[in-house]
Homo-oligomer: A and B are copies of this chain.
């Protein structure tokens, strides 16, 4: 693998693991057994590394969120979207941690991230709309739909932060099970809009995303 790609990968790993703020360019270089000078030969700054990582993240999510053409959406599609997106968020979890700071210090990233958000919101709306076409969700007024889509986005993007901040007492790590509860939370928002035909199916599907390991949560 090219050194440039190694730097991106190692940075992502270290950022996710220790938090970007605690990872310096020296750490990244040391972790790869290369010199800091070499790292700076490939990247002009740490900001540039973060930008590269964002580009990959964006590519991944755009890929996950492709809509099938020429057929209706199914419940399986919907679940696939949810699972993949949470997976993507997990793989790049450092990114949303100090997102505001990155946008403050990188003009390009600010512009690109804004467009990324808008693209995602449009896609969420499109998904909801096509779930209506498929008779899974009821039709609702357009403004209400926009607002719903935005709430989905807010819940999805804040889920990891919630887990990290609310569970991290005994240094206990976030498990795949907890991550899955994010799917549960999104489904909760859509339950009132399910058609009678689909309600029971979705309700029992949802139960699979309520992890048993989150006992503390159910004790609240």
In the bound complex, do residue B21 and residue A185 qualify as a contact, i.e. CB atoms below 8 Å apart? Answer: no
| CB pair A185 B147 closer than 8 Å | yes
Known pairs A110-B169, A147-B184, A191-B144; A161 contacts B99 (CB<8 A): yes
- For A143-162 the 0/1 string (1 means CB < 8 A from B) is 11011101101110111011
Number of identical protomers: 2
Determine the distance from Cα of A148 to Cα of B144 in the docked complex, in whole angstroms. Answer: 18
If over half of A's interface residues share one DSSP class (helix, strand or loop), that class is named, otherwise mixed; here it is helix
In contact, A100 and B164 (Cβ under 8 angstroms): yes
* Chain B hits for A21, CB < 8 A: 21, 98, 101
A40 to B166, CA, bound (A): 31
Q: How far is the CB of A108 from chain B (nearest CB, A)?
A: 12
Q: Which residue of B lies closest to A158 (CB)?
A: B158
> Within 8 Å of chain B (Cβ to Cβ): is A220?
yes
Q: Say if the beta carbon of A10 comes within 8 Å of chain B.
A: no
CB distance from A23 to the nearest CB of B (A): 12
A102 to chain B, nearest CB (A): 9
Contact call B148/A188, Cβ cutoff below 8 A: yes
Residues of B within 8 A of A185 (CB): 147, 150-151, 154
How many whole Å from A201's CB to the nearest CB in chain B? 16
26 examples of A-B residue contacts, CB within 8 angstroms: A19-B101, A21-B101, A97-B98, A98-B101, A100-B161, A100-B165, A103-B168, A111-B169, A113-B165, A114-B166, A114-B167, A114-B168, A114-B169, A143-B218, A146-B217, A146-B220, A147-B185, A150-B162, A151-B151, A151-B155, A151-B189, A154-B154, A154-B162, A155-B158, A158-B158, A158-B161
